[in-house]
Structure 1
């Protein structure tokens, strides 16, 4: 009988000093990026952020804020303030990736411990998959409009899905098509994907500026520009805070995992500071396009369409509908990969490094998104904002722990080699840094009543839900304060080193040039766990 070989499920393991006897904690994609593979320059990062900014969610924020009773002035102010705040955190955590060229799940080990980092990793994984599903749904709506522009009868296709499911047959078909279009891009390496971001950063802005031109050329402004807030007093204040939290929540994930991309940087760490002026400007501009287009749509069609696809679907020109929808499809594709699938892939890869690499992790993320029924989340403006607020509750504390630990507690001194060795200085107690866990729980706890109420409105938590309205800010600052205080009062002395150890120190010490080792570093199979505990100390002493 013919013999069938079992498929080889394990991924490629690196032959590097970081992986010696250590297949449980790293693989080739988790290892620090060597010099010859750092291809992201300033242009790449700017294109990446322009690509991320131009997406339907950014457009929808201002419009959905208006839908709950605030004006366009407040909505733009909220967007600008939110991204001014979050840009600092993105820059701080992104800088760690530039210095140590390792992804978020690995860097998290320094502040959380090897096993403790799973709290942050799993939390971020769930949220990344959630947002991937949301953007896939946004992409499905664009595909539906594109197909409808070519084949109008598609829009009136008989619906065979029960109405209470919140989705029609033609939208489900569109969801599958857009999901399928994403698959080839999910198999690309981040160094290759930067070209996708560059293309998107040219095509999409041109299309959206054209939409802005249509908005001003086709109307005299509309009533929205003269709109006054429909809520006052305390209701106004809480709506402002909850909207601010929702906008921050949109990019709270990148405040945590910016290192997943900055690790590929070939430029100075100082360039991370460009996010502080750049992000508020570009995101506020896109939100303004959303406000202007929504206002024009209200004049023309008599309804406030906070969903851009609902607005575009009203246009008479089939070509205009197609190309406008295409720009949103490209926008959804780019942001779904850059902000969501790659984030989830790095997390899943850290959980199962022997079986998942970046490509496999992205495919797993794409499969999981079907289980989240994203069409339910996007049914209304209120639901959308509630989801985004919930998104930020867990990420604020995680971002705070990582930023405060690197910049304040350890004063920018991490040991890259130790981040890959479970018996190293970052072992803490049983692989868990109780200081980070305690700070995380304290940061999340005040937001739980509001979080529960947002998931199930039938549960009335009264005033206990109030902190949830500014959940990210409360979680970030309270967690950071507690983590720093505990780390100073009960210091983990073994984690404090006299000099930072970067991956280049490790590569140079082992004679590795352009990914080829000319020294005697050994292989992952040659060094067992019993030698690992002593081995990392010897290598560290040699480097220092």
Structure 2
């Protein structure tokens, strides 16, 4: 890992924030990579099957998954239709996450490097930057969720905070107290910018232990307050084509919920002990995310019965409660975003992307790298104005659906390229060499570029975009094969630049298991 050196006597100088990375062991030029981007060494492959189980349990019990279900209810879907759409959406995204996750577990390289085999050495930066832009949007959403937690905690300790004079117009969809809470949390989260992905699995375990009981307690509250029957007997408020479109919108929003993770899941699975440890995601994701959705549906429906309106944001629902200090404080802590894997992986991705641009010590890029993370936090935190996105349920669902327009084609190309075009064989050392076999045409795999530039402008729902991009990329790769990018077996690249016997045997065993 690079050394983050802070000179507290000169905090205002760029020199004080320099990040000096260790050089890459595979890149022929230090401008193109650093040790953080190298294949994960065996001693760092410590993520077990239980690590991925805790990751997804902790991530399932989060506010975004809750709001996805509750927002669909507030738009008029019945609980059965909503739950069906969410379950199908998460089954589909689990297939994509697992397919891309196994790639990372086999090759042990991060997403920004892995993508070079599919998109070309230089065009891969387009996909990385696209993911970074969307990461800033997600950073903003999670920051706002964190600010709601801060608001509830401050109000639990200091009740008068709820009556803080408001000097912001109602059309802004945020109050002075809300904006102050947002600023406080925005500052609190900065230490998490320095968290490395391989070190956050313990936070997943903590959240997987703490949060599910709180969600279950809220579900019990919903059934106890309403008797259960009224919750399950509320019919759909819309019919016909409106119901069909709402159902499809909900399913597509479920896909968008983890479209980000489906693309850069190799950043996590690169630390897997064995590829088979990551396959559990295929089962865990649909089960726990659908269960969380049911909790969100039940509590939101209870809110409609008790308070006369659908309150799809759980923290706004908490605000309706009796506001006992310990009660509100514990509920807010349980929803605290720094324990959200999506929050942490967004920060980790921003950190990793900035390191792509690092150069030799003495060049200006090391200082700019750390500052780039701060710039991303400023843009993501303030320019995007997440309180506008989360002001209404339809805005939240549209935001979630919009993710898939860009990320679905990227995920489709990655999966088709590795499993169908390259048949699981990649030259790993060549991923670090701009003049290597993954240069394609001036650093661009035009087949992947065509798949993206045809599908993204269409703006179609994620599943359709995924299928079109996958078919288009497979057809062009079959009709116009990139023979220079093909190898007969995976080249892992040890000291003498040859595949090790141990890795080759392991790869052959994995292929037999897959068959």
- Report the TM-score, using the length of structure 1 for normalisation: 0.84
Whether 2:444 is the aligned partner of 1:436: answer no
Aligned partners of 1:62 and 1:288 also within 8 Å: yes
Counterpart selection for 1:335 from 322, 334, 341: 341
2:76 equivalent in structure 1: 69
Whether 2:224 is the aligned partner of 1:217: answer yes
Relative to 1, partners in 2 of residues 1:10 and 1:284: Cα closer, same or farther, differing over 3 Å?
same
> Deviation per CA, 1:362-390, whole angstroms, max 9, x where unpaired?
54432321221111110100111111111
The 5-angstrom pairing of residues 533-544 of structure 1 reads none
Aligned partners of 2:112 and 2:353 also within 8 Å: yes
Distance 1:445 1:202 in 2: 42
Deviation at 1:445, TM superposition (A): 2.9
Counterpart selection for 1:241 from 238, 244, 248: 248
Deviation at 1:508, TM superposition (A): 7.2
Distance 1:508 1:15 in 2: 18
Deviation at 1:8, TM superposition (A): 7.1
> Deviation per CA, 1:101-138, whole angstroms, max 9, x where unpaired?
11111111001011111221111111111011001101
Whether 2:373 is the aligned partner of 1:368: answer no
Say how many residue pairs are matched. 482
Whether 2:161 is the aligned partner of 1:154: answer yes
Deviation at 1:9, TM superposition (A): 6.5
Whether 2:462 is the aligned partner of 1:472: answer yes
2:7 equivalent in structure 1: none
The 5-angstrom pairing of residues 414-493 of structure 1 reads 414-447=426-459, 468=460, 471-493=461-483
Aligned partners of 1:29 and 1:357 also within 8 Å: no
Whether 2:108 is the aligned partner of 1:108: answer no
Aligned partners of 1:146 and 1:321 also within 8 Å: yes
Distance 2:283 2:400 in 1: 24
Whether 2:305 is the aligned partner of 1:291: answer no
2:191 equivalent in structure 1: 184
> Deviation per CA, 1:336-375, whole angstroms, max 9, x where unpaired?
4334222233333335565389977654432321221111
> Deviation per CA, 1:193-216, whole angstroms, max 9, x where unpaired?
211111111011121112122222
Aligned partners of 1:186 and 1:359 also within 8 Å: no
The 5-angstrom pairing of residues 17-166 of structure 1 reads 17-20=25-28, 22-166=29-173
- Report the TM-score, using the length of structure 2 for normalisation: 0.89
Distance 1:507 1:385 in 2: 50
Q: Unpaired runs of 5+ in structure 2?
A: 1-9, 360-364, 501-515
Distance 1:175 1:260 in 2: 29
1:346 equivalent in structure 2: 352
Relative to 1, partners in 2 of residues 1:494 and 1:8: Cα closer, same or farther, differing over 3 Å?
farther
Distance 1:388 1:332 in 2: 20
User: Could you tell which deviates more after superposition, 162-171 or 75-84?
Assistant: 162-171
Relative to 1, partners in 2 of residues 1:30 and 1:136: Cα closer, same or farther, differing over 3 Å?
same
Aligned partners of 1:349 and 1:356 also within 8 Å: no
Aligned partners of 1:222 and 1:295 also within 8 Å: no
Q: Unpaired runs of 5+ in structure 1?
A: 448-467, 513-544
2:320 equivalent in structure 1: 314
Whether 2:494 is the aligned partner of 1:506: answer yes
